[in-house]
Structure 1
Amino acid sequence: MEVLASVASDLGDAIDDMESVQVIPLSGAMTNEVFQVKWPTKNGDAYRKVLVRLYGEGVEIFFNREEEIRTFECLSKHGQGPRLLGRFTTGRVEEFIHARTLRAADLRDPEISASVAAKMREFHNLHMPGEKKAELWKRMRNWLVQAKSLCSPKDIKKFGLNNLDVEINILEKKLSEERQEIGFCHNDLQYGNIMLDENTESITIIDYEYASYNPVAYDLANHFCEMVADYHTEPAHVLDYSKYPGLEERRRFVQTYLSSEGKKPSNAEVEQLLNDAEKYTLANHLFWGLWGLISSYVNKIDFDYKEYARQRFRQYWLRKPALLELSAAQDEIVDAFVASVI
């Protein structure tokens, strides 16, 4: 409340009566708890709104909080997302964006999807601090070490964690064989991290905890994978892979993404990125499977993280034979492993 009073003062208001402050929980967040906080302005006939983010317990295991704050501030200077208004030990105060968060169904709207694709391209082209190389593989290996240290022997066996070192190595080798474009990626572009101003139809991407340099194909893959989720349904953790976007829907998104800077891509460029993104769904499944497993031990938010992890790992093993073009014998080995562990 002290920080809020200071923020109010900086914005030209004064909070004299804390009972006048209204706090409204916002649903859908799985790493932090998020609230809209508002209070009467000086003239009393309008409300000032800010967003307060309370950091989830134990989530620093996933990223460096100070680095995330620096990313947040740097993106703000680039005109991306909200401004940072204040900080306290367990959270921060951000500018409240007067736009609505997308719903799961919005990602299937062709016009909204096209706007997201163009905004994604703009985000990927940002010049941010840090070495322009893929962070994905190092992060997954670190998370695997964390998952093994937290999990019971039963869960280590159930989720096949002792096999994942090999799987990560295979993926890195297979997916890095050809030169791929590296950009500054959001890495968590689910519908809840995208906001739409319905007056201007402009898109804002928010929440940068997992942002880093990565292959842009990985970020597209992440977005496609998130189309199977609706975190505002009950139960929120259930993923419906029948909703995964079909080939033409993905091709349209990639075409718009590559065309958004005014240069028409060749058919070969579209098909290459489309194919790369599909293969990178495998890395996404491992990445978020490990995230879910670790979260089940460290995060107290009401969400079935372990079941979420099981679904992501299962999808990895189901899709691996086709996407990595395994032989029939290798395919049988994978099938047996899926049946035995998940």
Structure 2
Amino acid sequence: MGAATNVVESKEARLPRQVKGALQCLASEWDDIVDSKALQVIPIKGAMTNEVFQIKWPTRGNDTSRKVVVRIYGEGVEVFFDRDDEIRTFEFMSKYGQGPRLLGRFPNGRIEEFLRARTLSAADLRAPDISALIAAKLRAFNELNMPGQKKVWLWDRLRKWLDAAKRLCPLEEAKAFQLEAFQDEISMLEMKITGPHQCIGFCHNDLQYGNIMIEEETKSITLIDYEYATYNPVAYDIANHFCEMASDYHTETPHIVDYSKYPGLEERLRFLQIYLESSGKKPGEKEVQQLAEDVDKYTLASHLTWGVWGIISEYVNEIDFDYKVYAEQRFQQYWKQKPQLLGSS
């Protein structure tokens, strides 16, 4: 849910002085820039956690400009993830050419390389050729050997977020959301959908369209924004990506989820086939089927995760988004799908 997408021009955007200072310092190292202070600030819409800006400087000749991305961290969001871990992940990715390079840091944010690629739209996720590229890229991402404990973080994180939601939420609201019931639901899910056959990998955990970029000429895919990235069952990462196909954050009602857009069985199986094949071995039918079943069940964990995230965000986030209504929809989907997927009421 933390994405950078549509660019909206605005010369009025105000950057904190320390950020401007860091940008001018960076620009003064480039000898093709006319004036390091003559920067244009363009807010990038669609971010759910941070404020994101594109920064441009005019350069000498060729009508070109130097561009970077500035990310100012949202306040209060440290309840969701450890910012130091996220920076370590970002630096690791940057070092191994997996994402944008880190160009500078300031106390509450960073400056990143501007990728000359376009951010995907909601419709792109459904395009078979692009979906195939995402499947292969996700497999490569899941196989990265990242520093840190290679254990499942999903359930601990969910319990921690639930505690935070209960702390922030007024009693009446907590009752309406049935927050008390979720402690048992998390334990039940962990017991029922965790299996020894499951593959644990480094997961993005937030693979919505705004966190995926494509370089049109080379057709290379880059995954960005690693705030929520941890080790987890890869089936959860895929399930979360499928759930994101029901959202479009660039409509008049970005918080409304349309589950009629959730991919059908054929589309899901095609994605899983490509995901498994991209490691170089042809998977057996049984392997594809098993992963498909696991992914279906992990959609329940995705609904709970982002539902609880929505409740917390309502109280800690300044971004104009109806987090509460979003949370309601994710919880409704959880209760609706649970009997179908787990065979229990």
Which residue of 1 is the match for residue 99 of structure 2? Answer: 81
Measured after TM superposition, the shift of residue 9 of structure 1 is 2.8
Greater percentage in helix:
1
Q: 1:11 to 1:179 in 2, by over 3 A?
A: farther
Please give the alpha-carbon distance, in whole angstroms, between the structure 2 residues aligned to 1:158 and 1:306. Answer: 11
SS at match of 2:28: helix
1:16 equivalent to 2:35? Answer: yes
Residue segments in structure 1 that go unaligned for 5+ positions in a row: 332-342
SS at match of 2:43: strand
Which residue of 2 is the match for residue 296 of structure 1? Answer: 314
Which residue of 1 is the match for residue 7 of structure 2? Answer: none
Measured after TM superposition, the shift of residue 218 of structure 1 is 0.2
Alignment of 1:100-179 (within 5 A): 100-179=118-197
- Identical pairs, percent: 64
Q: Is the 8 A contact 2:36 2:57 kept in 1?
A: no
SS at match of 2:158: helix
Alignment of 1:245-284 (within 5 A): 245-284=263-302
Measured after TM superposition, the shift of residue 178 of structure 1 is 3.5
Candidates 13, 26, 36, aligned match of 1:7:
26
Alignment of 1:216-255 (within 5 A): 216-255=234-273
Q: Is the 8 A contact 1:59 1:299 kept in 2?
A: yes
Measured after TM superposition, the shift of residue 90 of structure 1 is 2.0
The normalised TM-score by structure 1 is: 0.93
Please give the alpha-carbon distance, in whole angstroms, between the structure 2 residues aligned to 1:15 and 1:315. Answer: 54
Alignment of 1:1-80 (within 5 A): 1-14=20-33, 16=35, 18=37, 20-43=38-61, 45-80=63-98
SS at match of 1:231: coil
Please give the alpha-carbon distance, in whole angstroms, between the structure 2 residues aligned to 1:229 and 1:196. Answer: 19
Which residue of 1 is the match for residue 326 of structure 2? Answer: 308
Measured after TM superposition, the shift of residue 13 of structure 1 is 4.9
Please give the alpha-carbon distance, in whole angstroms, between the structure 2 residues aligned to 1:219 and 1:206. Answer: 15
Residue identity in the other structure for 2:27: A
Report Cα offsets for 1:64-114 as digits up to 9, x if no partner. Answer: 111110010011122111011111122111000000000000011000000
Please give the alpha-carbon distance, in whole angstroms, between the structure 2 residues aligned to 1:219 and 1:42. Answer: 45
Q: 1:78 to 1:17 in 2, by over 3 A?
A: closer
Alignment of 1:170-209 (within 5 A): 170-209=188-227
Residue segments in structure 2 that go unaligned for 5+ positions in a row: 1-19
SS at match of 2:162: helix
Total equivalences in the alignment: 326
Q: 1:68 to 1:12 in 2, by over 3 A?
A: farther
Q: Is the 8 A contact 2:203 2:234 kept in 1?
A: yes
Please give the alpha-carbon distance, in whole angstroms, between the structure 1 residues aligned to 2:30 and 2:222. Answer: 22
The normalised TM-score by structure 2 is: 0.92
Q: Is the 8 A contact 2:213 2:223 kept in 1?
A: yes
Please give the alpha-carbon distance, in whole angstroms, between the structure 1 residues aligned to 2:88 and 2:26. Answer: 19
Please give the alpha-carbon distance, in whole angstroms, between the structure 1 residues aligned to 2:279 and 2:31. Answer: 40
Residue identity in the other structure for 1:126: L
Please give the alpha-carbon distance, in whole angstroms, between the structure 1 residues aligned to 2:48 and 2:226. Answer: 13
Measured after TM superposition, the shift of residue 175 of structure 1 is 1.0
Measured after TM superposition, the shift of residue 45 of structure 1 is 3.5
Residue identity in the other structure for 2:336: L
Q: Is the 8 A contact 2:236 2:299 kept in 1?
A: yes
